[in-house]
Chain A
Amino acid sequence: MDAKDGASDLTSSTKKKSRRPKYSQFTQQELPACKPILTPAWVILIFVAIGIVFLPIGFASLFASEHVVEIVNHYDRDCVPPNYVDNKLAYIQSSKTNKTCIRRVTIPKQMKSPVYIYYQLDHFYQNHRRYVKSRSDGQLRSKSNEKKTDTCAPERYTANGAIVPCGLVAWSLFNDTYKFSVNNKQLGVSKKDITWKSDPKKKFGSDVYPKNFQSGGLIGGAKLNSSIPLSEQEDLMVWMRTSTLPTFRKLYGKIEADLEADDIVTVTIENNYNTYIFGGNKKLVLSTASWIGGKNCLLGIAYLTVGGLCLFLAISFLLLYLFKPRPLGDTSYLSWNRSAPGGHIY
């Protein structure tokens, strides 16, 4: 009836464009959609599927991890001469003490070439913010950025000019060295390819040579041969990729020969690096690698656990659905039914 109210409006508005919304599935929110819900079948199916996929992966990675032969030698304590045991600091900080230390390592199982040599440090906060930031990527990359040391404090320059490479990271470069021999036969340590390829290519310049390095008041870690460009200083490049956690391993080199079981490897260690002061440990690690990397059974066990758990859940759900079905449309758990049993809210 009230149409005629606006009879005059109506005629004028028909001349105008109608404001009627255009119909489309999109604007009317009627787009075709798939609306999955967690039916028992789906739940069980998904659990079973996860279980079926995870268990083999778990076995495979556990197998791979088990296949890796890893020898860890904790040498920092044992390499301190007996008379310095109570004063390790004096031993390590003195330049006069003999730092050479010989360790013997028995190979438990055959280790196929290449055998990777790692040093492992504990309680070394290579991820400390001050440490992480104290470097100059620009300077490492190209000679023209030699003066770019503003991020490197406190290892920026000496009286002779800017330090290359500057910053705490480079300054604290690890300087223990290892030599290996089996049956008095020297084993070669290859430093080839121990860095990620992009490091020598893009991040460390081939025209950048160490300069004024370790010539300040305090000597940190290793010295660098100033005639070799940074792009060929593998140890530095490995060291400069800062570690994730305070316990870390870094690749020292590779032994490109098989080590047989029961071989005794003699390691001659130059024990220079000061971890004693902050209570860190130094370990020498010899390890092979499989497709999954080094020895770490966590992934395998985790896969097996979760896979197993899923199968277990699948079975429990199956039993639950079978023995304790719930009538469809039971609404007794709805909050308003729970909170107001009489339902008389008004």
Chain B
Amino acid sequence: MRGGGRRRKLHFSKIYSFTCGKSSMRDEHSQIGGPGYSRVVYCNEPDSFEAHMRNYGDNYVRSTKYTVATFLPKSLFEQFRRVANFYFLVTGTLAFTPLAPFTAVSAIIPLIIVIGATMVKEGIEDWRRKQQDIEVNNRKVNVHYGNGVFDYTAWRNLRVGDIVRVEKDEFFPTDLLLLSSSYDDAICYVETMNLDGETNLKLKQALEVTSFLQEDSKFNDFNAIVKCEDPNANLYSFVGTMEFDKQQFPLSPQQLLLRDSKLRNTDYIYGAVIFTGPDTKVIQNSTAPPSKRSRVEKKMDKIIYFLFCVLFTMAFVGSIYFGIATKDDLNNGIMKRWYLRPDNSRIFFDAKRAPYAAIYHFLTALMLYGYFIPISLYVSIEIVKVLQSIFINQDIHMYYEESDKPAHARTSNLNEELGQVDTILSDKTGTLTCNSMEFIKCSVAGTAYGRGYTEVERAMGRRNGSPLVHQHLSGGDNLKDSTDGKAPIKGFNFKDERVMNGNWVNEPNAEYIQKFFSLLAICHTAIPEVDEATGNISYEAESPDEAAFVIAARELGFEFYKRTQTTISLRELDPVSGKKVERTYSLLNVLEFNSTRKRMSVIVRSEGGKILLLSKGADNVMLERLARNGSDFEEETMEHLNEYADAGLRTLILAYRELDEDEYKEFNQNFIKAKNSVSAERETVIDEVTEKIEKDLILLGATAVEDKLQNGVPDCIDKLAQAGIKIWVLTGDKMETAINIGFACSLLRQGMKQIVITLESPEIKVLEKEGEKEAIATASKGSVLNQINRGKAQLTASSRNPEAFALIIDGKSLAYALEDDVKNLFLNLAIGCASVICCRSSPKQKALVTRLVKSGTGKTTLAIGDGANDVGMLQEADIGVGISGVEGMQAVMSSDIAIAQFQYLERLLLVHGHWCYRRISSMICYFFYKNIAFGFTLFLYEAHTSFSGTPAYNDWFLSLYNVFFSSLPVVAMGVFDQDVSARFCFKFPLLYQEGVQNILFSWRRIFGWMLNGFTTAAIIFFFCTKALAHQAFNSEGKTAGRDILGATMYTCTVWVVNLQMALAISYFTLIQHLFIWGSIALWYIFLLAYGAMSPSLSTTAYKIFIEALAPTPSFWLITIFVPVSGLILFFTYSAVQMRFFPMYHRTIQWIRYEGTSNDPKLCDMVRQRSLRPQTVGFTARLAARANRIKDRHHNRR
């Protein structure tokens, strides 16, 4: 037997009051066998004939988009759903008809390259998913092979009916029916964090009839038939019956273990496979992640539509002209342009059918002007984004050493969206805080103990500029640890020499202290684990705060070391003898914690025979249960409680009372009766019984546990606030905790007016007691509306002086505030406030709030969270960021980007986001520029051929423009460009506003670039055609034909677009140099190579460079002159802008260039002058304080 021999004798079901209810046949059980309840599972007989008849699927889970067979059609379809790609497909197909102005091959090859590249990328991504699938599907599990022999097999091999054995801390491979566990009463603990994000453990219990199956060998001849519901997505329901030993037993969710949850605190369980693979509840629950596209890309689509309009207009105008010219060619049998033989023409040029010719010309023109739409834009963007995400993944500053987790961009198509975030919606637990609790302070009998500083106190100290700050800033953390001389104990950060090391016996209230800590050591549901080798004891508890209490008790000399079914044993210091004694309390009842009771009690009999009720719970429920005269120091305790809450701590009140024998007997009878009742109101009955005994308590004191903030959270929030990003906190926690954390992260500060919207008002409570649902709803809604309006009024009243407001709203009110007719009001109010905190909000509400902000403000939202309860929010937001620090992967799996710590958000947004936004938006602008510059020359030339559709360039020049001669520098810009380095991004966080306000991708800028393209094209065309007019081209008197003009104009275009790039960027690494100059060089090389091919391939380009262009001075003069004159406009513009109207990043570049970046005064000036008054973060706190002092000075004068 494995290690748990001692534990196996425990029968927890006896002491737990609520969770271990007996399942009973209910109404729904009668439906079994009917529609929707037709599943039949032959446990332990997966090979039997009947099981085969059922033919349930295997346990293979697929997350890939394509299979080998569907890849080609499906991905092609995906590709051509894009308008631009579809357009190219159409023109590519048309290119095979005589309509084409150029050869079909040259038209279709770029399309094939572009589509091929995208498909390869898709394929690789899907392959990665496949790898992940393989990894999951090949995890090993112990399965029954027959004859009581268990052996390991891969997850995917599991079949319905298999018996598996799952060990502690393993995930369940499928949905299992719990048969038995290492505990005699067949209970087990399950962690469902992956499913619902709840961190506390759930208790599951098998049917009693199967609980004997505790050894492998017992499965030799076990079999049973389970009939149950069909696969569905409801996590909390399960209806079924089990036929065992010719008897029917009802099954409930209590017996079902869900895939992806984890076995905790239990050595092993046996279970029968009920649902496999896609049938499991978690897979049924998983929705396809919404495909998100960034704002920039959506806008890009609009630009493409715009360009389509331009293109169609141009083609239309051309067609009309062409139609007229064609019709004019043949007039009463007289051919005008006889050399075109209009009398004998195919329909495309037929003067007699000129309207048709015009229509056909329209198609030709669409093909020819196709260069307006950059064919390689999409694929270049895809490539760039993949490379950008590699940079994000590789960023060493976003790598978290302790969990060995680098940042991970799971989708690459949102990179630039990271640079535009306007509002961050953050989860609290696990995101801002690390979900680890530390016992830090306590108040016993009116005396406060504990000298540790909390993060909040430090933050407040920082605000007040007390020496504490400097200590902290100069590595206070290390200092703290080193002075201890002891390794820090997880969950324990309590320092007070008055009570530590047994000194508490000398305290005046020693008696209370003893009771206080023994209560902490007794009143819990944790299980001790003794390390055989060292004798050290560790605890497994349902929640981290519970663990923190037991640990605290242990550290202070009340060591809980043994739990049996009926006893709890402590080693404690006897204040009289001064020795450690072992005391055993017999455990009579456990009245568990749940969210309605908000308290937990145990009833024990001490060694002296006294019956004690020990109780701990939230202050509001506990205070009303205290005895009238039992609390001499209630006032002091309350004061301490408030202090603790202010410091951002979680508080609990401890109290106890002695029961006399009769009272207990009566209670126990009622309690047992209530527990064994099978009626639907069982829980209410138990509640009532417990209510009666938990009263007249005697106050002992209060505990304070710190919900630790993650490293660097306040600093990160401050930076983000400086960047002008708004931060909302959406948490499931109660209001007090949320407000505490708000203070801790500087989202709230003193002097900030708090607008609190809550339904915890007396009137509503009264209504709630009466229980009329409709009345409650109307009253609540009215109340919420009222509060919102009042808040709004406050806000407008102070709109003159920018006073900071904070909005705090609880879940109940939120439910009403999110209703359709209220939500805009609510949003208005919320936008007006500097910080918004929504507490007690459900996952659904989180998602709804996110949607409200997203659609209401139209700005980019980023949601960040770590648990499964954040999934909705992550998927709803424009960007979902998952915290990958903790084990639960659900949030990460549904996020777009995963980071290990909240603080990395700063770098992710301010540096990577800013860069990516800048890169992508410049890249798109530039793409349009270069294609217009090229495409418009084609149009201008065609206009000179009476719009007959003659391209100015050789076919291959045309098709390779986008592929070779102009795209590499753009890609390099998209991947590598930086306006300022990461250091300056941090130093001037407001730079981020360039993205939020979308300055770099505004219509003005886009049209500016387009205009630049048109002008450039006009300049190129004008000068080239005029310079190469009819006169002799070289000294041998030869004139320039179409071939020479084409090559010259093309050369100029290549020069101009590449030089333009060199002008536009301000960051030249070797790569930029290589690509820009390389592209130009490549053009000459291509010209040479292509010209050297036989004329049947190179047609008009044959030897054009060697023979005609290179020896001719005027060619070189043109190619020097045209690029310079084409760029002079832009150059002048940017010189003027740089000096007189610089954008923010230019200012920073300037400062860096001048080397004055280390001049704090100047930097401060640039920062301050460009700063909007900041409302959140500790910088704002300092500023607010400075203002107050200034005002005071003023007033004195």
Q: Identify the A interface with B (CB < 8 A).
A: 1-6, 9-10, 13, 18-23, 27-40, 43, 46, 50, 54, 57, 61, 70, 114, 116, 118, 120, 124-125, 127-132, 137-138, 141, 153-155, 168, 171-172, 193-194, 196-198, 202-203, 218, 220-221, 241-251, 254, 274, 277-278, 287, 289-296, 298-299, 302-303, 306, 309-310, 313, 317, 320-321, 326, 328-337, 340, 342-346
Contacts and interface: CB of A to CB of B under 8 A. Distances in A.
A334 B1143 contact: yes
Contact of B1031 (A154, A287, A306, A343): A287
B1069 A292 contact: no
Interface string B1003-1033: 0000000000000000000010111111111
Interface in B282-341: 334-341
A310 B338 CA distance: 49
Q: State the majority secondary structure of interface residues on A.
A: loop
B1027 A21 contact: no
The 8 closest A-B pairs by CB, nearest first: A294-B1031, A294-B1032, A116-B1037, A172-B339, A343-B1172, A331-B1170, A27-B394, A129-B948
B452 to A, nearest CB: 12
Nearest to A29: B391
Given A1-B436, A241-B1043, A243-B1041, A132 B1166 contact: no
Contact of A27 (B391, B726, B1028, B1039): B391
Contacts of A154: 341, 344-345
B404 A292 contact: no
Contacts of A155: 341
Contacts of B1118: 299
A193 to B, nearest CB: 7
A49 B1043 CA distance: 33
B1028 to A, nearest CB: 7
Contacts of B37: none
Given A21-B396, A39-B1153, A125-B340, 20 more contacts: A6-B887, A27-B394, A31-B976, A33-B1067, A33-B1069, A50-B1124, A70-B1031, A202-B1094, A202-B1095, A220-B339, A243-B1041, A249-B1032, A287-B1037, A289-B1037, A290-B1035, A298-B1029, A309-B1128, A320-B1139, A328-B1151, A329-B1169
Contacts of B1029: 245, 247, 296, 298
Contacts of A344: 799, 802, 1172-1173
22 contacts: A29-B978, A32-B1069, A35-B1066, A35-B1152, A37-B1153, A125-B337, A127-B950, A129-B950, A130-B340, A154-B341, A194-B1037, A218-B341, A243-B1039, A243-B1042, A251-B1037, A287-B1037, A289-B1037, A298-B1026, A320-B1139, A330-B1147, A344-B799, A346-B802
Contacts of B393: 21
A116 B1030 CA distance: 13
B945 interface: yes
Nearest to A293: B1032
Contact of B1037 (A141, A168, A294, A306): A294
Interface in B78-127: 101
A292 B1114 contact: yes
Given A35-B1068, A129-B101, A241 B1041 contact: yes
Nearest to A32: B1069
Contact of B396 (A23, A343, A346): A23
A3 B402 contact: yes
Nearest to B1175: A346
A65 to B, nearest CB: 9
A334 B1144 CA distance: 7
Nearest to A50: B1124
B226 to A, nearest CB: 35
Nearest to B368: A129
A1 B1151 contact: no
Interface stretch (B232-240, B621-629, B1130-1138): B1130-1138
A296 B1027 contact: yes
A64 to B, nearest CB: 9
A24 B831 CA distance: 43
B1121 interface: yes
Interface stretch (B56-64, B459-467, B1101-1109): B1101-1109
A299 B1114 contact: yes
Nearest to B1027: A299
Given A37-B1150, A172-B339, A202 B394 contact: no
B349 interface: yes
A130 B1173 CA distance: 67
Nearest to B915: A29
B992 to A, nearest CB: 11
Interface in B1032-1060: 1032-1045
Contact of B405 (A19, A218, A243, A330): A19
Contact of B406 (A2, A21, A137, A321): A21
Among A243, A294, A309, which residue has the most Cβ atoms of chain B within 10 A? A294
Interface hub of A30, A335, A342 (most chain B Cβ within 10 A): A335
Nearest to A244: B1045
A10 B1170 CA distance: 45
A198 B1103 contact: yes
Contact of A306 (B1032, B1121, B1140, B1169): B1121
A196 B976 contact: no
A278 B1039 contact: no
B38 interface: no
Interface in B1069-1088: 1069-1072
Nearest to B1039: A249
A329 B1113 contact: no
Contacts of B488: 1
Nearest to A345: B1172
Contacts of A128: 337, 340, 945-946, 948, 950
B335 A277 contact: yes
Contacts, number: 334
Given A20-B401, A120-B1030, A127-B1042, A334 B490 contact: no
A244 B834 CA distance: 66
B340 to A, nearest CB: 5
Interface in B872-929: 885-887, 915
A196 B1162 contact: no
Interface string B377-418: 000000000000011011111010111111000000000000
A289 B1153 CA distance: 51
Nearest to B885: A2
Given A125-B945, A197-B1107, A329 B1035 contact: no
Contacts of A6: 402-403, 887
A113 B1030 CA distance: 21
B786 interface: no
Contacts of A335: 997, 999
Contact of A38 (B726, B833, B1124, B1134): B1134
A28 B1114 contact: no
Contacts of B401: 20
A308 to B, nearest CB: 12
Contact of A245 (B396, B1025, B1131, B1153): B1025
B142 interface: no
A2 to B, nearest CB: 5
A336 B1032 CA distance: 57
Contact of B1125 (A292, A298, A302): A302
Contacts of A30: 981
A296 B1023 contact: no
Contacts of B1030: 120, 245, 247-249
A134 B249 CA distance: 90
A26 B1037 CA distance: 54
A278 B1166 contact: no
Given A21-B394, A194-B1038, A125 B1028 contact: no
B202 interface: no
B1025 A244 contact: yes
A218 B342 CA distance: 12
A135 to B, nearest CB: 11
Contacts of A118: 1032, 1037, 1039
